[in-house]
Amino acid sequence: MDKCCSNQSGAITHPLAPLTANEISKAADIVRADPPYGDDTRFETIELMEPGKTELADFKPGDPIKRIARVNVFSAVKVSVTKLVISLDDEKIISSQEMPGKRPMIQLEQFVEIEDIVCADPTFIEACKKRGITDMSMVCVDPWSAGNFDKPGEEGRHLAHVFAWLRKRENSNFYANPIEGLNAVVDLLSKEVIRVDDYGGAPIPEAEVNYEADFFDEKDFQPKAKPINVVQPEGVNFTLDGNKITWRNWELVIGFNARESLTLHDIKFNGRPIIHRASIVEMTVPYGSPDNGHYRKNVFDIGEYGIGKLANSLELGCDCLGVIKYLDVTLNTMNGEPWTIDKAICIHEEDSGLLWKHMDFRTERTETRRGAKLVISTICTVGNYEYALYWYLFLDGMIEFEVKATGIINTAACLPGEPGKYAVEVSPGVAGQIHQHILCARLDMAVDGNANSAVECNTFAEEPGPGNPYGNAYFERETVLASELAAARRANPPTQRYWKVVNPNKLGKTGRPVGYKLDATHCVTPFIHPESPSGKRAGFIQNHVWFTAYDAEERFPAGDFMNHSDGKDGLPDFIKQDRSLENTDLVMWHVFGLHHQVRMEDFPVQPCVTTGFKLMPMGFFDGNPAINLPPETNKASCPADA
């Protein structure tokens, strides 16, 4: 029984607890009793089908817990996916829906298989020989999703499009040695290379640019620094009951699945609901180069791979510092077997600096309070990139999400000194292309309940005249976004635009609706054309905020099945219903990210760059909720010369 899903007795303690290893095995066995594709049935995802909101609201500790699984299976020989809903209690399939022409996520087990298929292909081997490569064991092939480019011969297939690099010696950084202009297209069903695209191009850079410690002599390292230790001699301030966590004024349930990775549920402050469910539901990474095969680089790291399956097993004292609680996660293999990633989720506390302070200059009396935050995180490796995903909860009621992007930039070869207009040379003959990381958060809001409204706020300067004789007047105007089509919105810095979700039925002490504000500080401008092959598939990036009426099946902004998708069944289609958003159960979708013009400092391993957003209480409290924190002085702090 998985540690993150149960108490010490092994019993499921909450309806939102992720499926255990036993439950995953049970779901797979139920499918195998009547597999949709016979012996060719493979498993994409086996995950909890989360209970409805009414069922969750009625749940009391000790109540019986009904367990239902969502299972997506696919055919190993034809392009088709079947969506199943399974009752684990009754051991039967409740519903089945075949989706002909849909393709599953590329599975983790297929990564190495794709490399083996490519490196054994005679045409690819011959192209490598032309470049002076005779040892194919040193060729490294990354499996990229193929997109949808209407290429002849690709119709009706399930494909991967690959890029290649050359490893100079054992454990060397192969991204320093790109094999430019050589791409293979692999059929994941027939397990064959259907085409090798050889564009030619710059020679393979010769120099090694390594990062592993074993490649450094002791004299090459900087002098060792004195440690900065995080100690909590009295223990942590949070408690876990299964996967429900309580910390200071906060409580919530931690979830995890193969596609989204971390999910947060039933988030409350002092017992008051704020968010029913929060997660990052998509990330697309469009590259800006049309050269050679690089135009196909527009992966959907969540929808096409499943970022949860790519989670790291975290290391104490390296990935996580301080007094740490880890949770393991259990997912499924292609064959339906459970497999566990140890220490995939890290939970700890951090000092968050000054929370509030004031000194009365007349009396010189000072009150100071320091803040703290609860950190819930995971780190996922998607090929060359690492994405460290952090959810923070603060004592003043703020919620923050942050991504730290690190790892190795995707590289191409160029003639030394000639990277072209779409890239920056980071090492002689090695180029990093301009690109973006565009993410989408799905925030199922529940501000003091499920009856919420969406509001846009803009600031305007008063026109000069009798009402503004000194030219200093400006004001904020609130607009209720009444329906979905009106609520597809973009950032507007000239009016300091922001959005909030309010509960019109709950008023604060000044008579205004309680609410939470989206602090959208990392909106990005997309540069791929919306009618381009990649732009059609990523319609959600054309707005920074979308609001939709709640529908449990509208889970992903670009559709359920992203591989070779055509852009349908995502947010642009959801809002065509133009449902009302006033005083109702609504979902806020926020699109944000990184615009990455590569720097030389990003190589060989990129220092963390960050993006994210905040949700800040706005009228949710009748004052500063942290005003009554008791005064205290940290006794462990001391002068540096002590």
What is the residue type of 420? G
| Beta strands in 486-605, from DSSP E residues, in sequence order | 498-507, 513-519, 545-549, 586-596
Predicted TM-score of the model (pTM): 0.96
pLDDT in tens, 621-631: 999 999 999 99
pLDDT of residue 124: 98
Contact indicator for 182, 131 with CB cutoff of 8 Å: yes
pLDDT of residue 491: 98
Contact indicator for 596, 609 with CB cutoff of 8 Å: yes
Residues in a beta bridge with 391: 376, 401
Question: Could you give the CA distance from residue 537 to residue 73 in angstroms, rounded to a whole number?
Answer: 23
Cis peptide bond prior to 203, omega within 30° of 0: no
Ranges of residues in the chain whose predicted pLDDT is under 70? 1-10, 642
pLDDT of residue 8: 41
Q: Give the active site residues.
A: 301, 385
pLDDT of residue 642: 55
Write the DSSP string, 42-73: EEEEEEE-PPPHHHHHH--TTS----EEEEEE
Q: What angle do CA 277, 283, 288 make, to 5 degrees?
A: 160
Question: Could you give the CA distance from residue 381 to residue 389 in angstroms, rounded to a whole number?
Answer: 11
Residue with tokens 């392009």: 79
Question: Could you give the CA distance from residue 534 to residue 295 in angstroms, rounded to a whole number?
Answer: 9
Of 409, 475, 486, which is closest to residue 453 (Cα–Cα)? Answer: 486
pLDDT of residue 13: 87
pLDDT of residue 11: 76
Question: Could you give the CA distance from residue 585 to residue 578 in angstroms, rounded to a whole number?
Answer: 14
Question: Could you give the CA distance from residue 284 to residue 166 in angstroms, rounded to a whole number?
Answer: 26
Look up residue 396 and give its two tokens.
């003043």
Q: 631: how many CB neighbours lie within 10 A of its CB?
A: 8
3-state helix, strand, coil in the chain (%, to 5): 15, 40, 45
pLDDT of residue 431: 98
Q: Residue 160 half-sphere exposure, CB side, CA atoms within 13 Å?
A: 29
